[in-house]
Amino acid sequence: MSTLSLQSFQEQVSELLLRHRSLLDVLSKNGQSNASVIRAVTKAVTECGCIELHATKQTFEPGIDLEQAKEVAGKHVKGELCENCREAVSSELGRNLFYMSALCNLLDINMDDVVQRESQKCSTLGLFNLS
User: Closest separation between CB of residue 73 and Zn ion, Å?
Assistant: 24
β-strand 51-53 against 77-79: which pairing, if any? antiparallel
Q: Which is nearer to Zn ion, 53 or 82 (CB)?
A: 82
Site residues for Zn ion, 70-89, by CB under 5 A, read 82, 85
> Which one among 17, 27, 45, 50 touches Zn ion, defined by CB under 5 A?
50
User: Closest separation between CB of residue 64 and Zn ion, Å?
Assistant: 34
Q: Is 104 helix (H, G, I), strand (E, B) or coil?
A: helix
Q: Which is nearer to Zn ion, 93 or 106 (CB)?
A: 93
Give the binding range for Zn ion (CB under 5 A) out of 25-33, 43-51, 100-108, 113-121. 43-51
| Nearest-angstrom CA–CA distance, 85 and 39 | 11
Residues in contact with 102: Cβ distance below 8 Å, sequence separation at least 6, in sequence order: 13, 14, 17, 20, 26, 29, 30
Asked if 106 touches Zn ion (CB under 5 A), the answer is no
Dihedral class, residue 76 (left if φ above 0, else alpha if ψ from -120 to 50, else beta): left
> Which one among 17, 27, 45, 48 touches Zn ion, defined by CB under 5 A?
48
Which of these, 35, 42, 44, lies nearest to 95 by C-alpha position? 35
Asked if 40 touches Zn ion (CB under 5 A), the answer is no
Residues that bind Zn ion (CB under 5 A): 44, 48, 50, 82, 85
